[in-house]
Structure 1
Amino acid sequence: MLFSLRKNEWFGNLRVDFLSGLVVAFALIPEAIGFSIIAGVDPMIGLYASFTMAVVIAFIGGRPAMISAATGAMALLVVDLVKDHGLQYLLATTIVTGIFQLVFGYLGIAKLMRFIPRSVMIGFVNALAILIFTAQLTQFKNANWVMYAMVGVSLLILYGLPKFF
């Protein structure tokens, strides 16, 4: 009985699950590479880490609005850690961060988020965007025209396409 219930839960909506997994995978690849570059580690490490996080969270079970991939905030924080102490400390830091998240989740700390003003959250996200943008500026040095064309087309799609759809 229990196995058949889990089987229906796991294989109940294969088409939608497959398509959503494909979308997440396509979004995760450039994100993992970009955050790896920001963090100062080899992009393959970022891809392996993102894949591992996605597989673990698939078996443990996620929640709505749960972050189960690399984030810009973490990438910006670990830059100095990797520079000063090396890649070994990055693994230890990631494990300790996961333990803190589990403890905070168990204690229900997320309920305290409602006390943080919206303006503080918007300021945090905007500052994070500015820091990520400035970290990417080094990629523009000595680049050829193809990269600038791709940036221009990307910005055109981002800002132009929503006006039509």
Structure 2
Amino acid sequence: MAASDANGRDMAGRDVAPLIVTLRLDGHSFERLDALRRAYFPPERNFIPAHLTLFHALPGTQEEEVVANLATACAGTAPLPLRFSGLRGLGKGVAFNVDSPPLLRLRALLAGAWHDWLTPQDRNVPKPHVTVQNKVDPSEARNLLGHLQAGFEPWDGQGEGLLLWRYRGGPWEAAGEFPFRG
């Protein structure tokens, strides 16, 4: 990673904060999941709203190309069907599984364009999910998982676009929104 000054800029003045790409969820799904995240995520660690991360750390020095790729991909992509199919224990948290073959195809297309930049985490086989609790005692996570599973019914939602963020060591800073227009 490039050296940076106190403002997160390299010697050429480019912002080098890592970039994150998430899926913009439909309003109903987002509100439902964000309410759970606000209720169950430790407040001192909950810097961002509910989200489905597609890429965790793209190089900030490549922002111009990332933006161009996102704009092109989203211009030709119709809103994506999503199925919130179940819950997953994370050891110290809980997440909702998201099934969507079209989402996986879009992610694979982008991963191909950015292959040389991907971290080991972003090279892994994606398992789309939205985390509503994390970094708690495992017994607390197991209790929430059981509670949510008891009343869980799958639902359908929609991916409406992609969001680009800069990672600032805790809070994320919005860097772009790319609606699906196909």
- Larger gyration radius, structure 1 or structure 2: 1
- Larger RCO (alpha carbons 8 Å, 6+ apart): 2
Larger % of strand: which? 2
Larger % of helix: which? 1
Task: Provide the TM-score with structure 1 as the length reference.
Answer: 0.29
